[in-house]
Structure 1
Amino acid sequence: MNRKILIVVITLVAFVFLIGILFSNEGLYFISPKDELLKLLAIPAEKNYNASYSFSAGGSGAYTNIQSYISVQNETVMYYKYTSNNRATNTLKEYSSDKGWLNCKDAPGAGPTTRTETIYLNCSDDYKTMTEDYIKNKFFSEVSSTQNVTFFFNTNGNSCFHLKNLNSYGNYNICFDRDKRLVSWDIPYDRGSQRWTKNLTKR
């Protein structure tokens, strides 16, 4: 009987060990999804990458469409472009590291409006909100104060975390690849979406 018990114990230990290896390869390490996400967000941002952002929402005749792009080399923002348009406004922000702000203005939109003049803005360092470093720090602060974090694999095989009611914007999905690189975050809406995506290079 003692030998049978010993065999059962050894089998259970081996099973737990194998499961531990499997989860370690996926980066879960038997810790909560929230703690794992915080670990991934604490990894320093990549030095070189391109990323894009989109936001679209509409309903009852109103709409908003935002597109932006950023290129970072050696942790320096080399190029950034932001466009936003709706019935009232048409905003353009464009920056390059060698020439500074090429455009920073808000023109009248396509719909009926009482404003006809173009407003020139103070863009300052607006491009920083598109950088991975800013995004990771922002999420780290917000995730630290929430408990509604669950884990899932998306259709691309990336490790993703669903954050319910993270802030006033709603439910977030944050995804990382097998190399633990941040690849995307998004917020789905009933009539639109908001998404940041990094263009990855193979390792």
Structure 2
Amino acid sequence: MFSESECPLASEQSRGSGEHASAGSVPPSTEELISRNKKLIYTILNRHYPHKAEDEDYIQVATIGLWKAAKGFENGIGRFSTYAYACIRRELSAYDRLENRSKRKKDVPDLSLDDMSMEQLVAGPSFEERLLSRYRAEEILRRIRKNNPRQAYVLTQRMRGRSSAELAHELHLSRQWIHQMCIRSRRWLAEE
């Protein structure tokens, strides 16, 4: 963990690095923005990822986020540090998600068909089980349609593989709203 004297954004130089440009000033270069705001990386790591603050991979990913911020920053749209903070956090979050996903995949044991017997291979659901399952699903959809037709439509389309973005565009709603409809449906089904 970095000490407080190493990483805060206390110096005026790091705070004022091209953050508010005057009308006739020359915008700072990418390298200049990166060098002036290097401490921002350690501040974010210490605040949001204290257990990973000294991990070289996280520092490298945060540096890439700072570099992307410096490349994409348009002078005059606001403070660079605010923009860079969001870019660095986005890069770190994406890396953290990828890191966690790969850890979960490693935990799944490999299965092969050689390890399974013929009974296990053939032992899929019987015709009666599939028919009963389909009947239950239709009954559940009937109840949802009666309660909330739009929610039933969203749930049906999601089961058929359509994305939230497609449904949101079609229904003129946000993806978050579509996601919330699916969550409400699941809760309602769990209560039934």
TM-score (ref. length: structure 2): 0.22
Structure having the higher strand fraction is: 1
Point out the structure with max Rg over C-alpha: 2
TM-score (ref. length: structure 1): 0.22
Specify which structure has the bigger relative contact order, considering alpha-carbon pairs within 8 angstroms and separated by 6 or more residues. Answer: 1
Structure having the higher helix fraction is: 2
